[in-house]
Structure 1
Amino acid sequence: MSKDLEARLDAIESRFAIDALIANYAEAFDTMNEELLATLWHPDSRLLLGANGDAEGLDAILAQARVNMRRMPHMHHWMANALITLDGDRGHGVVAANCLFYDIEKGPLQVSGQYRDIYERRSGRWAFRERVFETHFATPLQNWVPVAGTERFGRPA
C-alpha cells in the first residue's frame, strides 16, 4: 500500500474516531453515563464549561460531570457542523452545540454555543485533550412544559 493511501485511510479513520468522540460526549451527558464519559478523555485532559464548571484531569472532569448531572437531570445535546483539522496525532475542532436542559433551579433552559476542541491520539486511541465551551446564549424557556414523551421535566407522574 502506498504511503499516500495509508495517510488518506488514517485521516478517514481518525475523522470517524473523532466524530464518535463528539457524539459519545453528548450521549454520555444525555444518558448520565459516567462510564462512557470516562472513555472520552486522556488522564490530563481539560473540560472548560465556564458557568457550568471547569475541570482539569479525568477525575476532576468526572466529579464536575456528576455535579452537573445532579443539577440538570435532563439534558439533550445536538452537536453539528463539526469543522475538524488533523495533523498527525493531533487535531483541532469547532463544533456547534445546542442543548435543552431541565435545571432544577432555573427550570427548562436552552443553551447554544460552540465547543473548541483539541484531540490527541495516544497509543492508537483518539480522545479529547481539551474541550472549551463558548456560550452564545442561554435562554430560559418560560412556561415550557412537554405534553408527551418519556421524560417528566419536573411534572408530576
Structure 2
Amino acid sequence: MATTLEQRLDRLETRLALQDLTSDYCLGFDKRDMGRFLAIWWPDAVWEIGPPFGDFIGHEGVVHAVEDILWPAWKDSTHYTTNLRVTPVSLDVIAGICDVYCIGNSIEGQAQSVAATYTDRFERRDGVWKIARRKVTMQHFSPLTGITLSAPQ
C-alpha cells in the first residue's frame, strides 16, 4: 500500500497512463491512426487476438494485423472500453482487465457487434507505460441482421 505522497502520486499517474493506453487503442484503431495505435505497444509486445485472426508479435506483427487484416475487414468501427481494473504485480508491472464493445460495418457494409474482454500486462520501462501483452477473449462477434449503420442525414 502506497503511503508516501510520492508513492500515492505515482499510483495516480500510473492509473491515468493506463487509462490513456486503453483509450488510445480504441482511438487509434477507429480513427485509423497507426502512429497513435502503435505507440501504445512495446516493440516486443504480444497481441493475442485469437481465432479467427491469430496472434501477433512485436510492432511488425501489430502493423500486419491492423493494416493487412483488420482495417481491410472493417469499413468503420467504434470501440468502447469500460470496467478497467488494474492490479499491481510489481513496481513496473500492472495486470489489467477491461471489457470492450465494438460496433461497425464490415467492408461489405454488414453491421457487426463485438463484445470482448482485454486482459493486459502493462509494463513501465524507463518511466514509460505501454502494453507488453494483450489477450482478447471474445464473448460474441455477430452480424446485426436487418440493421444499417449510417451517419444521420
TM-score, normalisation: structure 2: 0.91
CA contact (8 A) 1:110 1:140 kept: yes
Q: Secondary structure at the match of 2:149?
A: coil
Give, in whole Å, the separation in 2 of the partners of 1:144 and 1:5.
52
Match of 2:138 among 110, 113, 135: 135
How big is the shift at 1:101?
A: 2.6
Q: Secondary structure at the match of 1:73?
A: strand
Q: Secondary structure at the match of 2:32?
A: coil
- Structure 1, 103-112 or 16-25: larger mean CA deviation: 103-112
Give the alignment's Cα RMSD to 1 decimal.
Answer: 1.8
How big is the shift at 1:137?
A: 1.2
Structure 1 runs not aligned, ≥5 long: 151-157
TM-score, normalisation: structure 1: 0.88
How big is the shift at 1:121?
A: 0.4
Which residue in the other structure is 1:4 paired with?
A: 4
Match of 1:72 among 67, 71, 74: 74
CA contact (8 A) 1:106 1:140 kept: no
Give, in whole Å, the separation in 1 of the partners of 2:109 and 2:119.
26
How big is the shift at 1:107?
A: 1.6
Which residue in the other structure is 2:59 paired with?
A: 58
How big is the shift at 1:114?
A: 0.3
How big is the shift at 1:37?
A: 1.0
CA contact (8 A) 1:81 1:95 kept: yes
Give, in whole Å, the separation in 1 of the partners of 2:61 and 2:129.
20
The structure carrying a bigger strand percent of its residues is 2
Which residue in the other structure is 2:127 paired with?
A: 124
How big is the shift at 1:147?
A: 5.1
CA separation of 1:84 and 1:148: change in aligned 2, threshold 3 A: same
CA separation of 1:106 and 1:137: change in aligned 2, threshold 3 A: farther
CA contact (8 A) 2:75 2:109 kept: no
> Counterpart of 1:34 in structure 2: which amino acid?
M
Which residue in the other structure is 2:95 paired with?
A: 92
How big is the shift at 1:105?
A: 4.9
Give the count of matched residue pairs.
149
Give, in whole Å, the separation in 2 of the partners of 1:133 and 1:103.
19
Give, in whole Å, the separation in 2 of the partners of 1:38 and 1:110.
24
Identity percentage over the alignment? 26
Q: 1:58-104 CA deviation, whole Å, 9 max, x = no partner?
A: 11111111121111121100000001112311001110000013122
Give, in whole Å, the separation in 2 of the partners of 1:125 and 1:145.
41
The runs of at least 4 consecutive aligned structure 1 residues that moved more than 6 Å come to: none
Which residue in the other structure is 1:82 paired with?
A: 84
CA separation of 1:105 and 1:147: change in aligned 2, threshold 3 A: closer
How big is the shift at 1:106?
A: 7.6
